[in-house]
């Protein structure tokens, strides 16, 4: 089987773990960090532009097709915040815990029915020859009042997807990957990769996280 090497332009270990588990085994995903590539600052105000900034830099530096994910949480009662500022919502150097505490503080007193939110992910693909593509995924849900669960990363302990009793952090990696914004975006991005590499990607992706 031919193995296609791509560079994953993210420094977030949670994203790397999920993307590696979701990518079919015909792709070898090396990270920008593993190649010694430093990603540029995300200076745009849309997920798409920020994803392109990261993917363009990684494709140019590596000579490989690059895949970047820019994502975040949009909370309706906060006018869509934290959105593109999700990673640093509680300030530069903020931990996941700090971001969650800030969000819960801002939502204090907001009843459950008005705590609607969604995770959005935009995946940018950039080839060294200049080809570019974008793919988006969204998962709707609610922000609960107290964090629950230990899995995943970021805002997972306070995000309960619609139709589930559990937060993302209470799900196994596999369960989250069946419905997440990132999984949906990647599924669309795979169609582009299939075209660019002129290959047929089998449906069966890795079901374990052991290669992270
Ligand atoms: P890279 O830019 O290196 O990819 P980052 O964490 O800075 O890493 P983003 O700018 O895209 O990435 O910020 C995304 C933030 O949104 C992330 O740090 C989390 O706080 C949150 N987020 C995105 N997807 C998430 C998910 O599946 N579960 C929980 N939180 C998520």
Residue 78: the pLDDT is: 98
* Residue 137, ligand 1, Cβ within 6 A: no
For the four alpha carbons of 76, 78, 83 and 86, in that order, the dihedral sign comes to negative
Residue 212: the pLDDT is: 35
Pocket-testing residue among 12, 58, 91, ligand 1, by greatest number of atoms within 8 A of Cβ: 12
Model-wide pTM > 0.85 = yes
Residue 1: the pLDDT is: 80
Number of H helices, E strands in the chain: 5, 6
Burial 35-50 (b: 16+ CB within 10 A, else e): eebebeebeeeebbbb
Q: What is the mean pLDDT of the chain?
A: 94
pLDDT score of 19 more than 80: yes
Distance 198 CA to ligand 1 centre (A): 30
Residue 198: the pLDDT is: 83
Distance 87 CA to ligand 1 centre (A): 5
Q: Which atom of ligand 1 is nearest to the CA of 71?
A: 11
Q: Across residues 109-132, what is the average pLDDT?
A: 97
pLDDT score of 56 more than 60: yes
* Residue 12, ligand 1, Cβ within 6 A: yes
Pocket-testing residue among 43, 67, 86, 152, ligand 1, by greatest number of atoms within 8 A of Cβ: 86
Q: Across residues 127-153, what is the average pLDDT?
A: 98
Structure tokens given for 138: 């969204």
* Residue 56, ligand 1, Cβ within 6 A: no
Give the alpha-carbon dihedral of 160, 163, 166, 170, to 10 degrees: -80
pLDDT score of 62 more than 50: yes
Angle, alpha carbons 184-186-98 (nearest 5°)? 75
Q: Is the Cβ–Cβ distance between 190 and 7 less than 8 Å?
A: no
Angle, alpha carbons 203-208-210 (nearest 5°)? 130
Catalytic residues, which ones? 70
Q: Which atom of ligand 1 is nearest to the CA of 54?
A: 2
Q: How many CA atoms lie within 13 A of 121 on its CB side?
A: 22
Rounded to whole angstroms, the Cα distance separating 52 from 54 reads 5
* Residue 70, ligand 1, Cβ within 6 A: yes
Q: Which atom of ligand 1 is nearest to the CA of 68?
A: 4
For the four alpha carbons of 99, 104, 107 and 108, in that order, the dihedral sign comes to negative
Query: Which CATH number, 3.90.950.10, 3.40.190.10, 3.20.20.10, 3.20.20.150, labels domain 4-207?
Result: 3.90.950.10
């Amino acid at each position: 089987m031919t193995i296609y090497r791509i560079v994953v332009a993210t420094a977030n270990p949670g994203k790397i773990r999920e993307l590696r588990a979701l990518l079919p085994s015909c792709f070898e995903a090396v990270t920008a960090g593993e190649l010694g590539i430093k990603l540029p600052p995300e200076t745009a105000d849309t997920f798409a532009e920020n994803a392109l900034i990261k993917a363009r830099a990684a494709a140019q530096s590596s000579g490989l097709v690059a895949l970047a994910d820019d994502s975040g949480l949009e909370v309706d009662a906060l006018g869509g915040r934290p959105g593109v500022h999700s990673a640093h919502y509680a300030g530069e150097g903020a931990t996941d815990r700090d971001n969650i505490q800030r969000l819960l503080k801002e939502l204090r007193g907001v009843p459950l029915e008005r705590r609607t939110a969604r995770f959005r992910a935009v995946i940018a693909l950039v080839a060294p020859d200049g080809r570019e593509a974008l793919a988006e995924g969204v998962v709707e849900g609610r922000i609960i009042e107290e964090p629950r669960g230990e899995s995943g990363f970021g805002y997972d302990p306070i995000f309960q997807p619609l139709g589930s009793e559990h937060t993302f952090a209470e799900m196994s990696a596999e369960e989250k990957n069946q419905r997440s914004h990132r999984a949906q975006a990647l599924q669309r991005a795979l169609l582009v990769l299939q075209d660019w590499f002129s290959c047929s990607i089998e449906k069966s992706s890795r079901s374990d996280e052991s290669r992270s």
